[in-house]
Amino acid sequence: MAAQKDNETEWKRIQTKTFTRWCNEHLKVQHIEIEDLSTAFCDGVKLIILLEVLSGKSIGKYNKVPKRPVQKMENVSKALEFIMKAEKIKLVNIGTGDIVTPNLKLILGLVWTLILHYQISHGFQIDGSNSPRHGGHSGHSAKQALLDYIRDKLPNKTIKNLTTDWNDGILIASLVDAHAPGLCTEAEAMDPENALENASLAMTLAQDWLGIAQDMVNPKVDELSMMTYLSQFLDAKLKPGAPLKPRVDPTNVVVYGPGVEENGFEGVPEKAVFTVDITGAGSGAVSAHCTGPNGPVTVDIEDNHDQTYTCTYIPQGPGVHTINVQFNSKPVKDSPFKVNISAGFDASKVKVTGPGLLGGCVREPLNLIIDSGGAGQGSMNIVIDGPEATTTTDTLDDGTNSLVIVASEVGECSVQVEYGGQPVPGSPFLIPVCDPSRVRVLGAGAKGEGVILGELAEVLVDMTDSGVGLLEVGVTLPNGKLETLKMTPADQPNVLKGSYRPSAPGVYKVNVQLAKAHVLSSRVHVAQRVHISGSKVAYVDVDNIIDVHAADGDMGAEFQFKGRPGLKGVDCNFERKSADHKIVHYTPHHVGTLLVTVQCSYTALQHEVRCLDPSKVAVSEGICSAIAEMQQTFVVDTSLAGPGKVDIQITDPTGRPLHAYVVDSEDASGVYSVTYTPPAITTPLSAPPICKVEISFEGKAIQNSPFEVQVSSPGNVKGYGTGLEKAIAMEPISFTVDASQAGDGALNLTIEGPEECNIDCKANGDHIYCVSYVPPLAGTYSVNIKFADVHIPGSPFLVACSRAPPDASKCHAVMEADNQAIMVDAKNAGGTGALEVGVWGAQVPARYVTVEHNGDYTFNVSYEIPEPGETEISIKWHGQHIKGSPFKVVTE
């Protein structure tokens, strides 16, 4: 609340000062001055005079020297009535008593209403009926009109409000200079940190030469005070003799020349020159500074006496030179200038590449790439001669330049590329342009007329009308391989020829392209005269058959069996069925690839066979057992069985298929890793759970397939009984293991603890076992129960074993030979170790007695008897004499 009251006091003080000055500015024509605004209008006289000055009208008769309160009230009422009725100004919440008995806040509101009506609204021809809220904002139309007026005067300034934007004095100075050009040229160079100095200079000039009453600079200035002050500019007139100065505008300075161009030089020049033109910028000093790659560079400035200046500097070498140009200490437009000076250029390092160099087709783009990277800075010039063509150039993201040529006629394009005025390597480039639609393809090899198996088939390509270009002729053989024909000149000009020899029956696809464009695709059918049929797979040590048929009845065939490296021995014989039919019987004895060749009088036919031996497929031993719900892996090795495919099918105990992941080895040697997961075993069991694994090699089951996999389920095994919970040392304890619902599997039992235990396991039938053991010592024992080498649920079981109740009769004592010590063994005596030793005898029965516990319930009792005679040594375990106690010792 205190801060709010302070703020209200501050704006009242500012408004009182501003409004008092405004009233005095108008009352001075009557030689009247107000000192205290709060009491100045209490008798109504000065208020009536102010209204008559503002309105230019007479209010009429009033008490000019009022002495009694009633006379003062009459004057004030007459003034308020004039405002509301004669001037039609709306007043809100103010009456005669608020002025006679002064209320400063309401009097400030009254004065603001007069300012708004007679100065601001009249200046903009606005109906001033909007009345302000005391201490707040004025009517929107007057404020907006004043803002619009100022923004028109200062188009290059950003003006958001009528308060804080004006605190640094720069806007006031700019408005003074805009109202009277040249009166306050310092506005552009003012520092916002010097707010008081800026505002004082601007307001003094405004008061002296524009007749605008000077006001104060205050960071808490309110909007009404600022509007009052700024509205005085509406009718302000410049007085004669004002000290107007020529305006200076650095933005009108023009700087040009190679010395300030970004890429002004190719190579380092002896000197760099640029010009500064200040025409239209006013009078002022020109300065220029240059910073090169190695530091400052001197700039010589010569005045040409025509408002231009010639500036010269000597570049330090290759690199960026930064030029700062200022006019009257202000940067000119576009300053600073970045000038990139290259180290020169080498046209021989420019590379021209692209598929377009090989030629192309009419109306299709020829794409070239021009790479000047590493050639330095140089200008690129491209000239194209030849057929009519359009060109497009562009700079790519990697800095290279693309050149696209589209020719509309057949012919040869000559592309000349120069860099820095020098031809680049390979220029001019001669690029053929052709029209594939005008190519003629002839010959039996292309048309498919009379092509005979084993004989040459010719292809002719006539390019007389199409123009030359990159010609490609290929033949796709029946086996899918592509054979490219070598084309050589024929007898006729512009005609090329090539040929191919069909070696196997089937379809030969002839494809012709000119400049990568399609010309011809034809299918040539070559009939088969000898036919071989037979399986592509043969089995070792088994009779295999190949049929050979000849279409013309003349077999004339020789048979050859050739094996790949490592393949040995093939038994074969021939059976002639007819003149055009033979059967070949053959028996390979080793795995591998066998190539059967039938050599006829005019051709050679080949039949490739893979020789396999499924009996050589090996399976890892782990295939025959598995754990339910656990990933199982086994290996199938076909590396010795030949080049064939393996197929694996796995079913669960119910016959449903299981997914198997089969992965070949990295070297594709035929060793496969097979992974699958047997499902959980459903209980109760009606039969042993068995999965089946069927393995076939190239369609034949391997030896022992299908494999029966015994599935064990350790999760179905239950262990229970006291022997898995707690025990007493040296007392037998037992527990039960029920594996009746776990399938086949080995039961494995181990007990780990303070000392080894003997385990006795007896089968009760139906896979239920009774297990007993005797823990020799107290402590914690870990009982491990595994089924199929997997822990059953709860295993390992932690069993806490305590000692038996004390039994002194089970303690054993042994006296040492020198009668100076006794060893007591209480391991099997139960209890917790309360051993008592007493000595009776001579006057001094013993010099000392010590009892040392060895940590395993054995004790060393040592003593020294200093006097001769008979001494009794009593040893008790939990208060009871141990066997042999008391012991008698005779000392001589």
What pLDDT digit, counting tens, does each position of 706-718 carry?
998 888 889 889 9
- Residue predicted with more confidence, 694 or 10: 694
Neighbouring C-beta atoms of residue 52, cutoff 10 Å: 16
136: pLDDT confidence band, cut at 50, 70 and 90? very low
Q: Kindly state the average pLDDT of the residues 734-742.
A: 91
Which stretch of 279-288, 646-655, 745-754, 788-797 has the lowest confidence by average pLDDT? 279-288
pLDDT of residue 530: 64
State the pLDDT at residue 275: 95
Phi, psi at 162, each rounded to 5°: -115, 30
- Residues ≥6 apart with Cβ < 8 Å to 666: none
70 pLDDT more than 60: yes
Q: Band of the pLDDT at 304, cuts 50, 70, 90?
A: very high
* Helices 45-55 & 104-115 angle (0-180, nearest 10): 10
Query: Which DSSP string corresponds to 275-342?
Result: EEE-TTS-S--EEEEEEETTEEE-EEEEE-SSSEEEEEE---SSEEEEEEEEETTEEPTTPSEEEEE-
Closest listed residue to residue 689, CA positions, set 771, 607, 788: 788
For the cut 60, the answer to whether the pLDDT of residue 84 exceeds it is yes
Q: What is the mean pLDDT of residues 849-866?
A: 85
DSSP 8-state class, residue 853: E
Residue 125: the pLDDT is 57
Asked whether residue 831 carries a pLDDT value surpassing 50, the answer given is yes
pLDDT of residue 654: 86
- pLDDT band for position 406 (cuts 50, 70, 90): very high
Q: What is the pLDDT of residue 186?
A: 80
pLDDT tens digits, one per residue of 678-706: 988 877 777 788 899 999 998 889 888 89
Structure tokens at 481: 């391989």
pLDDT of residue 7: 58
Indicate the pLDDT class of residue 554, thresholds 50, 70 and 90. Answer: very low
pLDDT class of 565 with cuts at 50, 70, 90: very low
pLDDT at 650: 92
Range with the poorest average pLDDT among 51-55, 353-357, 374-378: 374-378
Q: How confident is the model at residue 93 (pLDDT cuts 50, 70, 90)?
A: confident
Mean pLDDT (whole number) for 524-537 = 75
Q: By CB neighbour count within 10 A (0-12 exposed, 13-18 middle, 19+ buried), where does 425 fall?
A: exposed
Residue 783 confidence class, pLDDT cut points 50, 70, 90: very high
Mean pLDDT of all residues in the chain?
Answer: 84
Share above pLDDT 70 across residues of the chain, in percent, rounded to a whole number: 91
Structure tokens at 54: 């503002």
Whether the predicted pLDDT of 193 surpasses 50: yes
Task: Return d(Cα 788, Cα 524) in angstroms, integer.
Answer: 68
Q: Is the pLDDT of residue 131 over 50?
A: no
Residues 736-761 as b/e (b if ≥16 CB within 10 A, e otherwise) read: ebbbbbbbebebebebebeeebeeee
- Band (pLDDT 50/70/90 cuts) for residue 137 is very low
Angle formed by the axes of helices 2-27 and 223-230, nearest 10°: 20
Task: Kindly compute the dihedral angle of the four CA atoms of residues 116, 118, 120, 123, in this order, to the nearest 10 degrees.
Answer: 160
CB-CB contact of 139 with 130 (8 Å): yes
pLDDT band at 649 (very low <50, low <70, confident <90, very high): very high
Quick check: bond before 428 cis, omega within 30?
A: yes
What is the pLDDT at residue 558?
A: 53
pTM: 0.38
What's the average model confidence in pLDDT over 446-457? 78
Tens digits of per-residue pLDDT, 158-168? 888 888 888 88
Q: Which of 236-240, 463-467, 793-797 has the highest mean pLDDT?
A: 793-797
pLDDT category at 629 given cuts 50, 70, 90 is confident
What's the CA gap between 110 and 132, in Å, rounded?
9
Q: Is the pLDDT of residue 220 over 70?
A: no
